[in-house]
Amino acid sequence: MNPIVRSGAAARTGALLVLLGPLVSWGAEFITAAAWQDPPYSPLYNWVSHLGLTGPPQTAFGQVANSPLGAVMNTGWVIYGTLLIIGTFLVFDPRKGARPIIIMSLAVLAGIGVSLVGIFQGSNANVDNGLIAFHTFGAQGVMLAGNIMAIAVGTSGTRIGLARGRSIASTALGTAGLIAFPLFMTDVFTGWMWNIGLFERAVIYPIMIGHALLGSSVAATQRHRATHPLAPLTGRAES
């Protein structure tokens, strides 16, 4: 099959950016959660987005939120979204047909979505002034677009350079995230408030793992091509 990714320095740089995005976000999440001590932050209960709440402690969406380093988390999300968009545009070649265009479009939606989450907090103040709509649009946008992107990447694995196992993993991750999405939304609207942090992470983490798989796989493939430039020619000669 014809590849749908670029080659050379552009693809290698883009792959590293796609890989770096979730790593930056996870690092920011760990630092921010560690600073949240009153009350202690619980990843199985507290919302991920509450880590980005700056300002005084407040009760938002039924949970007590007190994130002293909220700005760190918000910055991590904006960096993640920016790296995802730039990296995807460097990796994929839109001249190769509909598949790369679809993946790039989903990356833009996901990147804008996670950036909006970082820019517009899910605070009581934003609920009152209406800016919560941007936060909600961003969160739901990245949840849907990001998981669909993981499926699109997985089903196009051979044309991207993913090994069979990683292609299956990416598809499975995206599918799991989409299954978890309605459970999370039901939890939000019904007010169950039971392990809501776990539900939210069940939707978000498959996206982040999928991006890490994509970035590391493309980087490895491009590195192999750079160090073995004559391998394809040798294979054709032997055949």
pLDDT by 10s per residue, the chain, length 239: 689 999 899 999 999 999 999 999 999 999 999 999 888 899 888 889 999 998 788 888 778 888 999 999 999 999 999 999 999 999 999 999 999 999 999 999 999 999 999 999 988 899 999 999 999 999 999 999 999 999 999 999 999 999 999 999 999 999 999 999 998 888 777 766 666 788 899 999 999 999 999 999 999 988 877 776 654 433 433 33
Supply the pTM of this predicted model. 0.90
Separation between Cα atoms, residue 87 and residue 21, nearest integer Å: 9
Classify each residue of 215-227 as buried b or exposed e, where b means 16 or more C-beta atoms within 10 Å of its C-beta.
bbbbbebbeebee
- Answer whether 21's CB lies under 8 Å from 79's CB: yes
Report residue 46: phi and psi, to 5°. Answer: -70, 145
What single DSSP character describes residue 52?
G
Q: Count CA within 13 A, CB hemisphere, residue 87.
A: 27
Q: Count CA within 13 A, CB hemisphere, residue 100.
A: 19
Phi-psi label, residue 162: left if phi above 0, alpha if psi -120 to 50, beta otherwise: beta
SS3 95: helix
Strand bridging mode 58-60 / 63-65: antiparallel
The model's pLDDT over 90-109, given as tens digits with 9 standing for 90+, comes to 999 999 999 999 999 999 99
What single DSSP character describes residue 64?
E
Residue 57: asked if its preceding bond is cis (omega within 30°), the reply is: no
